Amino acid sequence: MTADAPQSECRSWRSIADLLGHHPQARAALMGAPLAEGSLTPGRCDLAPGLIRETLKRFSVYDLETGTDLAALAVHDAGDVNLKCVRPADAFEPVRALAANLAERHELVMMLGGNNAVTRPGVHALGDLQATGLITLDAHFDLRDTDCGLVNGNPVRALLEDSLPGENIVQIGLAPFANTRRMHETAKNAGITVHAMSDVRARGVGAIVAEALDQLSARCAHIVVDFDIDVIDRSQCPGAPGARPGGMAVNDFFAAARQIAAHPGVRLVDLTEFDPSLDVSSITALTAGRWACEILAGLSARPA
């Protein structure tokens, strides 16, 4: 081998996991919020952040479909918040504090849940709720009452009670026979924009996501996006306890992730409700890993 010949890829093959490290000046930051307490369906969502990091070793930094090469992109890995045996109410401040610190120093924060209760502190991390927009890709409204405490089924309700305007919320992918009439009426009365799964199929996820980003960027300084993995069709996502048959096609989920991350107003994204203990043949783990790849590809498309 000559001095200027490329090194064998047996020794130099790079994975998405190789992008993670101590990079305080990186455009993207990663944090884990392994919250399992407060789940309506008991499980092991706390295992997800560690498994997703491990699964990233299986993804190349190169996307042959678009020619996107992420080799030069660094990701600051801030580690996990210690949430062992911690309830959602007590998890709020440690999750919010780390996310806020990262949002001050990085263009985009990627939060790995954990159950969906981590979305509320993620939204608060960006500061003024009046200036913050929220998009959810979720089979559920997450509008259960809060009188019995904070759980993974009521972060959107809690945010409304915190004074996040309903007009600042867009919900995409809501499933039939997975929600109640009262929740639907609460959403409409609050001014939340609702897109059921039937809307996604009829109009296409790209058009709906583009409309949501335009709508919120016109009234909000920054946007948080909650990717609840149970929005995906159950057959393509067995490791999501809340996923239902008839959900979003996984390729639409990936396309939405890249489209959303490319928008400069999006400052924090989370991936929630992945329970590795329910997974089959790493299907959901690989889906979560691919989500991270698509988020980074979207970020790389933003102007530097």
Question: pLDDT (tens digit, 9 = 90+) per residue, 172-206?
Answer: 999 999 999 999 999 999 999 999 999 999 999 99
Mean pLDDT of the 297-301 span: 98
Token look-up 């919900």 returns 171
The predicted pLDDT at position 10 comes to 72
| Spatial CB neighbours of 253, under 8 Å, sequence gap ≥ 6 | 137, 205, 227, 231, 232, 287, 291
pLDDT tens column, 255-288 = 999 999 999 999 999 999 999 999 999 999 999 9
What CATH topology corresponds to 14-300?
A: Arginase; Chain A (3.40.800)
The predicted pLDDT at position 262 comes to 98
Burial bucket for residue 196 (CB in 10 Å: 0-12, 13-18, 19+): middle
The predicted pLDDT at position 46 comes to 97
First to last CA, the chain: 37
- Residue 195: its H or E element: strand 193-196
Residue 301 has pLDDT above 80, yes or no: yes
Average confidence score pLDDT of the chain: 96
The predicted pLDDT at position 12 comes to 72
Q: How many CB atoms lie within 10 A of CB 5?
A: 7
The predicted pLDDT at position 6 comes to 67
Say what angle helices 250-261 and 283-300 make with each other, to 10 degrees.
30
pLDDT tens column, 262-271 = 999 999 999 9
pLDDT tens column, 129-177 = 999 999 999 999 999 999 989 999 999 999 999 999 999 999 999 999 9
- Using alpha carbons, select from 167, 172, 180 the residue that is nearest to residue 202: 172
Mean pLDDT of the 8-19 span: 84
Residue 3 has pLDDT above 70, yes or no: no
Burial bucket for residue 18 (CB in 10 Å: 0-12, 13-18, 19+): middle
Mean pLDDT of the 74-96 span: 97
Residue 1 carries which DSSP code?
-
One-letter amino acid at 173 equals: G
**Using CA atoms, how far apart are residues 146 and 266, in angstroms rounded to an integer?**
28
pLDDT tens column, 237-260 = 999 999 999 999 999 999 999 999
pLDDT tens column, 214-245 = 999 999 999 999 999 999 999 999 999 999 99
**Using CA atoms, how far apart are residues 270 and 108, in angstroms rounded to an integer?**
11
Tokens found for residue 231: 């929005």
- Residue 31: its H or E element: strand 28-33
Q: Above pLDDT 70, what percent of the chain? A: 97
Sequence length of the chain is 304
The predicted pLDDT at position 4 comes to 63
| Spatial CB neighbours of 289, under 8 Å, sequence gap ≥ 6 | 16, 52, 55, 56, 58, 59
HSE-CB for 167 with a 13 A CA cutoff: 7
Q: How confident is residue 304, by pLDDT bands cut at 50, 70 and 90? A: confident
Residue 291 has pLDDT above 60, yes or no: yes
